[in-house]
Amino acid sequence: MAETLLLKNADLLCTMRPARDMTGRAGDDVGREIPGGGLFARGGVIEAVGSSADLPDNADIVLDMQGHVVIPGMVNTHHHLFQNLTRAVPAAQNAPLFGWLQTLYPIWSNIGPEHIYWSTALGLAELALSGCTTSSDHLYLYPNGARLDDALGAAADVGVRFHGTRGSMSIGESEGGLPPDNLCAPEPDILADCQRVIEAHHNPERYAMQRIALAPCSPFSVSMDLMRETARMARSYGVGMHTHLAENSEDIDYSLATFGMRPGDYIEAVEWTGDDVWHAHCVQLTAEEIGLFARTGTGVAHCPCSNMRLASGIAPVRAMLDAGMKVGLGVDGSASSDSGHMLNEARQTMLLQRVNQGGNAMSAREALATATRGGASVLGRDDIGMLAPGMAADIACFDRRSVDFAGSDWDMLASLLFCGPVKASPTTIDGRLVVAEGQLASMDMDRLLSNHRRMAHDLMVKAGHAS
């Protein structure tokens, strides 16, 4: 018999389900905001949402959410989970994108399967504790026998809904690319492993816990041929496509010098537009490129903290949303944002658009919609990102009874961003408790931290950055 979940008595439950007749700016409509709200789920799927008084009295799991705001679990559309092994590396702290990468590549060359497993587990635990229930991961290097399978295994153990992307780098320094040759692989080998991973692990079914996408790293690390062949393989299997694009001015300069075209023309040339594609960053898109993305249904993973940390610029998110583009949020790699807190990314999204375009450029509700249903749309999912019958029971709950929210009872939903960020508890994924009483419920956190600390130190010693 399928396990049931009853969540009741939330101070406020926000569905994020848009009204059929939307008015105002995209994303401002977050659906019903239900005081005293709750929901009932069976087998990981929501059956009813509404006033707690109208829901069943009992379930296998009962969560009394008095004092809490409840929202759909947030969706992280871009990450490099392995990078949490190299946070705050002194030599990379003050470098822009290309110099930052060139400092870290030699450290990452010592990564192996165990590093991938434990860094993925830790990063997903960090995300779950922030209220994130679905994450993609862009794993683009595979030294020393590492495989995407290592990350997929960790995701299954933590219990986070996971889109693992089989990344790749094929053009090293000797051929004019940015990465060292030893982190690149022959393109036939890359394509063969892409096929293997899809056939072994991709689940296209509704409510799938794991899906696969194909993800050449960037225009400065793969050939145009690999981009095209990857797109054709992805579409033959019906999987998503992901890469970095137009992240900073160096990125644009490389594209113009190497390909003789801007990013928009480049992605058209390599068949990388469409509703099965999402690009990370896109800080430097022009109005014409935004129009291209909107017309083709191409999505963007906006990563505000990483873009600030690396001085890449402020992405034109306001213009993207106004054009009808699909926009989700990403925490990016933990060596560039140095954090994996989705609520903070939503807050920074709101603040960056305001500092760039004025105090009314983005509302808290719009930023939260981007972090939830926006991310679901970018990942091509219609079963997450909202709290409604037929949606997955992926839920983030935030306790407002702390000093962080004192004096903000007038708008409990907006206070999550204006007063945050705080950690979530509880967090459910597929109707199961992944975070309970402020702690990860699915794995031993002490063991996770111990293993992670040991491997991070080992990497830094091997690379000569620590003793």
What is the phi/psi pair of residue 381, to 5°? -120, 135
CATH ID of 4-72+386-436, from 2.120.10.30, 1.20.140.10, 2.30.40.10, 3.40.50.150: 2.30.40.10
d(CA 9, CA 29): 23
pLDDT tens string for the chain (467 positions)? 789 999 999 999 999 998 754 444 555 678 899 999 999 999 999 999 999 999 999 999 999 999 999 999 999 999 999 999 999 999 999 988 889 999 999 999 999 999 999 999 999 999 999 999 999 999 999 999 999 999 999 999 999 999 999 999 999 999 988 899 999 999 999 999 999 999 999 999 999 999 999 999 998 899 999 999 999 999 999 999 999 999 999 889 999 999 999 999 999 999 999 999 999 999 999 999 999 999 999 999 999 999 999 999 999 999 999 999 999 999 998 778 889 999 999 999 999 999 999 999 999 999 999 999 999 999 999 999 999 999 999 999 999 999 999 999 999 999 999 997 899 999 999 999 999 999 999 999 999 999 999 999 999 999 888 88
C-alpha closest to that of 375 among 16, 12, 13: 16
User: Could you tell me where the beta strands, DSSP code E, fall in 114-236?
Assistant: 132-139, 161-168, 210-216
Cβ burial of 210 (10 Å; 0-12, 13-18, 19+) is middle
Buried-exposed string 244-267: b where 16+ CB fall within 10 A, e elsewhere: bbbbbebbbebbeeeeeebbbebb
What is the phi/psi pair of residue 48, to 5°? -150, 140
Which residue carries 């759909």 as its tokens? Answer: 72
Is the pTM higher than 0.85? The answer reads yes
Quickly list DSSP for 422-459: ---SSEEETTEEEEETTEESSS-HHHHHHHHHHHHHHH
- How far does Cα 60 stand from its chain's mean position? 31
Q: Beta strands 4-14 and 68-72: pairing type?
A: parallel
Homologous superfamily (CATH) of 74-378 is: Metal-dependent hydrolases (3.20.20.140)
CB 89 within 8 A of CB 102: no
Q: Sign of dihedral through CA atoms 47, 439, 399, 342?
A: negative
Listed by start position, the domains of the chain span 4-72+386-436, 74-378
Would the CATH topology of 4-72+386-436 be identical to that of 74-378? no
Cis before 421 (ω within 30): yes
